[in-house]
A and B are shown apart, each in its own frame.
Chain A
Amino acid sequence: MDSMGGNFQFKYSVMWESIPVLMTGVKLTILITFFGLIFGFLLGSAAGLGKTSRNIFINKLAGVYIESVRGTPLMVQVMFLYFGLPLALGMRVPPLTAGVTAIAVNAGAYIAEIVRGAIQSIDKGQVEAGRSIGLTHFQALIYIIWPQAFKRMIPPLGNQFIISLKDTSLLVVIGVGELTRQGQEIIAVNFRAFEVWLTVAVIYLAMTMVISRMLNTLEKKLEIAA
């Protein structure tokens, strides 16, 4: 334990040297986040619309999905998908697939609530005006409700995107070589926990900041277009 005391010396060079390896992790982190969020958004939109549906079966189904994901830890979901489910299915799932699926399923539940909230926040008169000019329910949704609701979804979606990006670090438990995993592996060799975790943290921060900038820009663009 005394190795943790007094003789700590910050080594700047360790940070630089770890970057190439960490970048291979960044690539995977971005890949998983990107596909996880695309599928998560589709899943979330479907479930969110499901929650606004008057069809009881669809409504309940969406509700069960949202509740069970939100009521269980992501770590457990990841391990269930990777270690548990293959036993039942009788086939192995590659860690990357399991990782993307976990992020998608998890984000989807939170996105569903965002979608539902945004849709329900649109004035009822909008659908009525749409229907009064002869649009079908589906057309009213596509041309009138969704574009207005989508604008309101952007800030909370941005928040969820950032959360999901950070959540990919939990995939370390199934051995996906994303950023956190790469950090762990570097430290296993050089024992420079301070410098490496600091570098890893800074990289996560940079990525989340990029996401929030991108969403700010998108929000401004949509504001200008009405």
Chain B
Amino acid sequence: MIRIEGLHKSFGPLEVLKGIDLHIRSGEVVVIIGPSGSGKSTLLRCINLLEDISSGTVIVDGLNLKDKDTDINFIRTEVGMVFQQFNLFPHMTAMENVTLGPIKVRKMPKKKAKKLGLELLRKVDLEDKAHVYPDQLSGGQKQRVAIARSLALTPKAMLFDEPTSALDPELVGEVLEVMKALVVDGMTMVVVSHEMGFAREVAQRVIFMDEGLIVEENTPENIFSNPQNERTRSFLGKVL
């Protein structure tokens, strides 16, 4: 589904990704952990081209992101992205946030889009908030709307960049529940998160990144109970 080979990314003189190789199968759930600044966000952002790639290849659903013929906007609808800061559109209701993509990108008739929107808001348990603006929603509710907004494009994979880090602790659970429901649906997911419980429960693989490289990858049980690399050990010691 997603195939990354020798991915390098620099911001000017600063090399942030120093050769990432990562294959993600369809339906797989991968959790990425690692210290702040290790390049986790940048890696996700390269997968849906919010950052352009310095060198290496990223292939999404058989399409090479570097090919001139590849329609970037199409890729972005194939790979949904959920941000730490939600980034809901504040001037639109929850419903409008969710239906903007289907209407403007998929050219779906408004009626049909509304039906889809309602379905998705029901899926994230926010049917009653359809006509509410983001500033009236809690952080957890905002993030669930943001997830519904991504799902509205029926992506084949979803990228989550610390989806619960900006939330009050008591709101983390409701967002993780929605994400777990996606796992059940068979969604391919790449999740940057330090929610170890979530990783243990649903991830097939946990990847530890440090200083722009994948240092270690393993099943959640193995990596959490028996980390091989010293850096992984010291990082987990701090987080767990």
Q: Which residues of A contact B74 (CB under 8 A)?
A: 134
Are B83 and A129 interface neighbours, CB within 8 A? yes
Q: Is A191 an interface residue (CB 8 A)?
A: no
Q: Which residues of A contact B85 (CB under 8 A)?
A: 125
Query: Helix, strand, loop or mixed for chain A's interface?
Result: helix
Are A129 and B88 interface neighbours, CB within 8 A? yes
Q: Is B76 an interface residue (CB 8 A)?
A: yes
0/1 per residue, A124-146, Cβ < 8 Å to B?
Answer: 01101111111110010001100
Q: Which residues of A contact B92 (CB under 8 A)?
A: 226
**Nearest Cβ in chain A — how far from B112, in angstroms?**
17
Are B73 and A148 interface neighbours, CB within 8 A? no
Are B105 and A134 interface neighbours, CB within 8 A? yes
Complex Cα spacing A226 to B92, Å: 7
A 26-73 contacts with B by CB, 8 A: none
Interface centre among A136, A143, A151 (most CB of B within 10 A): A143
B 71-91 contacts with A by CB, 8 A: 73-74, 76-77, 80-81, 83, 85, 87-91
- Of B50, B73, B83, B152, the contact of A135 (CB 8 Å cutoff): B73
Are B133 and A226 interface neighbours, CB within 8 A? yes
Are A129 and B87 interface neighbours, CB within 8 A? yes
Q: Is A147 an interface residue (CB 8 A)?
A: yes
Complex Cα spacing A126 to B87, Å: 6
Complex Cα spacing A125 to B74, Å: 20
Complex Cα spacing A226 to B133, Å: 6
State how many residues of chain A have any CB contact under 8 Å with chain B: 20
Are B76 and A126 interface neighbours, CB within 8 A? no
Q: Is B101 an interface residue (CB 8 A)?
A: yes
Are B50 and A143 interface neighbours, CB within 8 A? no
Complex Cα spacing A165 to B178, Å: 55
**Nearest Cβ in chain B — how far from A224, in angstroms?**
11
Complex Cα spacing A204 to B45, Å: 54
**Nearest Cβ in chain B — how far from A104, in angstroms?**
29
Are B81 and A132 interface neighbours, CB within 8 A? yes
**Nearest Cβ in chain A — how far from B232, in angstroms?**
30
Are B153 and A133 interface neighbours, CB within 8 A? yes
Complex Cα spacing A135 to B73, Å: 7
**Nearest Cβ in chain B — how far from A138, in angstroms?**
11
**Nearest Cβ in chain B — how far from A139, in angstroms?**
6
Complex Cα spacing A38 to B117, Å: 38
Closest to B149 in A: A133
Known A-B contacts A126-B87, A143-B104; the reply to A134 vs B73 at CB < 8 A is yes
0/1 per residue, B87-104, Cβ < 8 Å to A?
Answer: 111111100000011001
0/1 per residue, A65-105, Cβ < 8 Å to B?
Answer: 00000000000000000000000000000000000000000
Are A226 and B90 interface neighbours, CB within 8 A? yes
Are A135 and B150 interface neighbours, CB within 8 A? no
Q: Which residues of B contact A126 (CB under 8 A)?
A: 87, 89
- Of A128, A135, A225, A226, the contact of B105 (CB 8 Å cutoff): A135
**Nearest Cβ in chain A — how far from B72, in angstroms?**
9
Complex Cα spacing A9 to B33, Å: 86
Complex Cα spacing A130 to B73, Å: 10
Complex Cα spacing A151 to B92, Å: 13
A 133-173 contacts with B by CB, 8 A: 133-136, 139, 143-144, 147-148, 151
8 A–B pairs (Cβ distance < 8 Å), ordered by A: A126-B87, A128-B50, A131-B76, A133-B77, A133-B80, A139-B105, A144-B89, A226-B135
Starting from the known contacts A129-B146, A133-B150, A134-B76, 10 additional A-B residue pairs (CB-CB under 8 Å) come to A123-B87, A125-B83, A129-B87, A129-B88, A133-B76, A136-B73, A139-B104, A139-B105, A226-B133, A226-B135
* 8 cross-chain pairs, A with B, having the tightest CB-CB distances, nearest first: A129-B87, A133-B101, A134-B77, A134-B105, A132-B81, A125-B87, A226-B133, A134-B76
